[in-house]
Amino acid sequence: MDHLKTLLTEMARQQGDKNYLFFRDSHFTYRGIDLLSNRFSRVFRELGVGKGDHVAVMLPNGPEWIACWFGLAKLGAVLVAFNTQWKAEGLEYALAQADVKYFLLAAEFQGEFKKAGKTPGLTAVICDLGGESSEIERSHSLSRLLAAVSSQAVEGEPPEAGDPLIITYTSGTTGWPKAVVNPHRAYIAAAMDLRDYVELTPEDIIYTCLPLYHANPQAYCVLTALVTGGSVALAERFSASRFWQDIRAYRATAFSYVGAVLPILLSQPEREEEKGSSAKKCFGGGAPQEVHEAATRRFGLQVCELYGMSETGTWNTINRPGKIKAGSVGQVRECFEVKVFDDQDNEVPPGRVGEIVVRPKRPFIMFSGYYKMPEETLRDYRNLWFHTGDLGKVDSEGYFYYCGRKKESIRRGGENITPYEIEKVLTDHPAVAEAAAVGVPDPILGEEIKAYVVLREGRSVSPPELIETCQERLPKFMIPRYLEFVSSLPKTASEKVQKVSLKSRGIGAAWDRLSPEDSDESR
């Protein structure tokens, strides 16, 4: 089953009245979600949507998002997943850049859309406004449209494995986000392999509180539950105070995470709901060794830390149950080749940091390219390998380690410095919650190192103390010159630190360990 249309039909036939989706106090069976997706297919077909058309969706988490996606897939149309945090300028850019013809828009985002500039390529806007009228030109009411169509399946040729299924967006830490086009097979293969690698069964219930416009919940939760014959429990948003209550209420056995989820849960006081939790596994990216080990100890979880990108079939390495090595991102997924290269595209030996590169062993299990950005696609795909822009290393047992973004590396006095190592030393200090190291201009060395530090609540530490910690564990050329304490770090919607934003602040009012105003102790 290499495309979503046949997969949905087959799973509805096999699972029938078994619950597939839980949301709030509602539930949808496999048959029920299949029939609801048929209604969406009919609504869009009557509006003129055909195979290959781009339909943007800007909805909060809910059954409608999933049913809409499935319904569009049955038509061979492409869902363009819009970030619900985008403002008018971002909407205007994405609607034009992605050649969006139809736009399904939640009422709460209507105001930002009205502020956006002209969208001449847009044929129709569908609003979830119930029976109310909308001030948006060419708009339709979703509830009225759904009520007017049957739930009978739409006839038509199924899509091919390589046909586009979905467009998601890169985090956009260095400019406008790029539109990543993924084919049907890429997402389905990712879901099937994740099911097998983390040993999921039809009895599993996967919980997600991550926004559905991200590839993580799309592939790791919605589709993985589908191909497993299990269930997915969907929350509207992440809430640390409600997380374990939801896990218990839905009897969830697994969940997916991004970087901030586990640290936030660990920062909360222990709750009765987390004890004896039904959740035994979690999978995602962004759990460094200390977080990984703490989550295992406190919550009794098998943390299946993985590595991947939207461009690379969503995941390429993983820690499998029973073979977990905390601090690593696991071993290679069998249908991919993953290597670590130097700047001349030569493979580096184990233990040495270089750029992580990926290529598939099967067709259509990676992205098709950046939409309308052929030069960027070719640049990243040079020498027959996709260059991720991520720094990493591999050990003698084939476990990979993520070491930060290549573009974030600091060039100080001829040395290429990975911020990851500095940040790890800083966050190992008991008073430090988060840290980010960036390069700032220096007339002699080219760049100097500036570290931004977020302290844990109720804790304090002086700059000289942190420098002393660094001096004990880092070579001299990696010791930060500047330190600045901040209340939080700027992040993207996917919880990646916006290093470009931090670099743009320059030295600012940071503490300088070489300043003559500081004591000898602090130098």
The answer to whether residues 208 and 217 touch, using CB atoms and an 8 Å cutoff, is: yes
Query: Amino acid letter at 214?
Result: H
Provide the total of helices (H) and of strands (E) in the chain, helices listed first: 16, 27
CA dist 160 and 175 (Å) reads 33
Instruction: Locate 435 and state its tokens.
Output: 């840290």
The answer to whether residues 140 and 126 touch, using CB atoms and an 8 Å cutoff, is: yes
The answer to whether residues 358 and 385 touch, using CB atoms and an 8 Å cutoff, is: yes
CA dist 166 and 310 (Å) reads 11
Q: pLDDT at position 477, please?
A: 84
Element (H, E) at 424: helix 419-427
Whether residue 44 is contained in a domain is answered as yes
Helix (H, G, I), strand (E, B), or coil: what is residue 303? Answer: strand
- Of residues 230 and 135, which shows the higher confidence score? 230
User: Which phi and psi angles does 465 have, rounded to 5°?
Assistant: -65, -40
Helix (H, G, I), strand (E, B), or coil: what is residue 331? Answer: strand
Whether residue 56 is contained in a domain is answered as yes
Q: For residue range 230-260, what is the model confidence (pLDDT) as tens digits?
A: 999 999 999 999 999 999 999 999 999 998 8
Q: What is the 8-class DSSP label of residue 140?
A: E
Q: For residue range 35-47, what is the model confidence (pLDDT) as tens digits?
A: 999 999 999 999 9
Instruction: Locate 94 and state its tokens.
Output: 């994405």
Burial group, residue 120, by CB count within 10 angstroms (0-12, 13-18, 19+): exposed
The answer to whether residues 190 and 223 touch, using CB atoms and an 8 Å cutoff, is: yes
Confidence category of residue 523, pLDDT binned at 50, 70, 90: very low
CA dist 3 and 316 (Å) reads 20
Whether residue 34 is contained in a domain is answered as yes
Q: For residue range 403-446, what is the model confidence (pLDDT) as tens digits?
A: 888 888 888 876 778 788 899 899 999 999 999 999 999 888 88
* Residues paired with residue 183 on neighbouring β-strands, in sequence order: 164
Whether residue 196 is contained in a domain is answered as no
Instruction: Give the per-residue SS3 of 190-226.
Output: HHHHHHHHCCCCCCCEEEECCCCCCHHHHHHHHHHHH
- Other Cβ atoms within 10 Å of 13 Cβ, number: 11
What value does the mean pLDDT take over residues 252-270? Answer: 92
End residue of a domain, out of 111, 136, 159: 159
Q: For residue range 345-365, what is the model confidence (pLDDT) as tens digits?
A: 999 999 999 999 999 999 999
* Residues paired with residue 283 on neighbouring β-strands, in sequence order: 256, 304
All residues at 6 or more sequence positions from 473 whose CB lies less than 8 Å from its CB, including other chains:
425
Residues listed for the chain: 523
In Å, how far are 270, 423, 464, 521 from 449, measured between CA atoms? 37, 11, 15, 19
End residue of a domain, out of 109, 142, 159: 159
Whether residue 38 is contained in a domain is answered as yes
Whether residue 5 is contained in a domain is answered as no
CATH code for position 99: 3.40.50.980
What value does the mean pLDDT take over residues 51-63? Answer: 97
Q: pLDDT at position 186, please?
A: 98
Q: Which of 299, 306, 213, 223 is nearest to 262 (CA)?
A: 299
Q: pLDDT at position 521, please?
A: 39
Whether residue 120 is contained in a domain is answered as yes
Whether residue 385 is contained in a domain is answered as no
CA dist 451 and 214 (Å) reads 29
Confidence category of residue 227, pLDDT binned at 50, 70, 90: very high
Pairing of strands 400-405, 386-394: antiparallel
End residue of a domain, out of 159, 176, 192: 159
The answer to whether residues 419 and 410 touch, using CB atoms and an 8 Å cutoff, is: yes
Q: Which of 192, 199, 193 is nearest to 226 (CA)?
A: 192
The three-point CA angle 368-373-378 to 5° equals: 65
Q: pLDDT at position 348, please?
A: 97
Q: pLDDT at position 76, please?
A: 97
Instruction: Locate 431 and state its tokens.
Output: 């008073």
Number of compact structural domains in the chain: 2
What's the domain range around 441?
409-522
Helix (H, G, I), strand (E, B), or coil: what is residue 370? Answer: strand
Q: pLDDT at position 522, please?
A: 35
- Mean pLDDT check: name the lowest of 15-24, 117-126, 194-203, 322-331: 117-126
In Å, how far are 12, 63, 237, 243 from 26, measured between CA atoms? 18, 9, 16, 18
CATH code for position 452: 3.30.300.30
What value does the mean pLDDT take over residues 171-196? Answer: 88
CA dist 103 and 139 (Å) reads 9
DSSP string, 445-494: TEEEEEEEEEEPTT----HHHHHHHHHHHS-GGGS-SEEEE-S---B-TT
